[in-house]
């Protein structure tokens, strides 16, 4: 299979799984079985993204950028990617969440689903560009696997959050539509850039976006996915109480998580799968 054909298949598969993942919470958000399955899949995705970021993307970015400077640019750019998402996710997101009184014509639409859309879209398009720029079939498959495992869960989390905020049908469709096209758009941009640019320029851009993607993969894996799936019961209870005290209902009553050990095993399995695949890279 040619590299271009693989990337076309990857774009279509990612688009499809994002649509399915986004529709599931709108159709079956109250069914505990479906939520548990996606939660376990999210834990596995966290391990895959952690491994893809540390074991594959970051070292490849370092190799691509080592000819341009003796400074560890890849590590710096990865840290920058973490910092940008941290700013948007934990500063902008938290400062705008729940801000402002209700309007006279009705309750104000919460802004946090839109901010969450921005955070996930930044990650998605950078990951897509990194996949589009990837010159090797085997490495492209690795990145595609990581994106596929996470995209459906990310779409599920995004739409569950948007739905719980009371967003209308049109707003839900817009949020899902924007999110699902971000990674395919990134793949298209990366593929076009790799064909148009000269070798040295393409290598620089490829290394830059791989490093940024590594940072976003690591951030999403640790601070969004694994933290959400493995958070302590007391912390989840505190968030529920805080949400109730300020008149919000977007945080569900926490239950004891009987799948914690299984989730840990799945995180390790995802990380180990990337480590094993790295033997042949």
Q: Give the rounded percent of residues in the chain with a pLDDT score beyond 90.
A: 7
The predicted pLDDT at position 79 comes to: 94
What average pLDDT does the segment 219-240 reach?
70
* Per-residue pLDDT band at 102 (split at 50, 70, 90): very low
The predicted pLDDT at position 165 comes to: 61
* Per-residue pLDDT band at 94 (split at 50, 70, 90): low
The predicted pLDDT at position 245 comes to: 60
158-214 tens-digit pLDDT = 776 677 666 677 888 888 899 999 989 988 888 887 777 767 777 787 788 888 878
Model-wide pTM > 0.75:
no
The predicted pLDDT at position 80 comes to: 93
Give the chain as a DSSP string. --HHHHHHHHHHHHHHHHHHHHHHHHHHTT-HHHHHHHHHHHHHHHHHHHHIIIIIIHHHHHHHHTTT-SS-HHHHHHHHHHHHHHIIIIIIHHHHTT-SPPBTTBPPPPSHHHHHHHHHHHHHHHHHHHHHH---HHHHHHHHHHHHHHHHHHHHHHHHHHHHTT--HHHHHHHHHHHHHHHHHHHHHHHHHHHHS-HHHHHHHHHHHHHHHHHHHHHIIIIIIIHHHH--HHHHHHHHHHHHHTT---SPPP---TTHHHHHHHHHHHHHHHHHHGGG-
By mean pLDDT, which of 58-62, 113-117, 273-277 is the weakest? Answer: 113-117
The predicted pLDDT at position 101 comes to: 45
The predicted pLDDT at position 73 comes to: 93
pLDDT reading at 156 higher than 50: yes
């Amino acid at each position: 299979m040619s590299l271009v054909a693989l990337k076309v298949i990857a774009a279509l598969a990612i688009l499809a799984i994002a649509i399915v993942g986004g529709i599931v919470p709108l159709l079956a958000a109250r069914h505990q079985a479906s939520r548990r399955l996606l939660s376990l899949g999210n834990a596995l995705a966290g391990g895959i993204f952690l491994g893809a970021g540390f074991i594959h993307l970051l070292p490849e970015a370092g190799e691509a950028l080592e000819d341009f400077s003796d400074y560890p640019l890849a590590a710096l750019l990865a840290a920058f990617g973490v910092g940008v998402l941290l700013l948007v996710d934990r500063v902008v997101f938290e400062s705008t969440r729940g801000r402002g009184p209700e309007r006279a014509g009705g309750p104000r639409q919460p802004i946090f689903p839109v901010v969450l859309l921005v955070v996930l879209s930044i990650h998605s398009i950078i990951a897509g560009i990194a996949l589009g720029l990837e010159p090797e079939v085997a490495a492209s498959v690795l990145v595609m696997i990581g994106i596929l495992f996470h995209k459906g869960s990310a779409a599920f989390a995004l739409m569950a959050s948007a739905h719980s905020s009371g967003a209308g049908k049109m707003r839900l469709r817009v949020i899902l539509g924007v999110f699902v096209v971000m990674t395919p758009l990134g793949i298209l941009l990366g593929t076009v850039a790799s064909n148009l640019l000269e070798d040295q320029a393409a290598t620089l851009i490829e290394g830059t976006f791989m490093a940024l993607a590594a940072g976003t993969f690591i951030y999403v894996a640790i601070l969004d996915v694994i933290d959400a799936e493995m958070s302590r019961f007391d912390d989840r209870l505190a968030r529920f109480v805080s949400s109730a005290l300020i008149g919000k209902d977007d945080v569900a009553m926490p239950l004891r998580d009987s799948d914690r050990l299984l989730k840990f095993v799945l995180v390790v399995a995802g990380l180990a799968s990337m480590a094993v695949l790295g033997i042949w890279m």
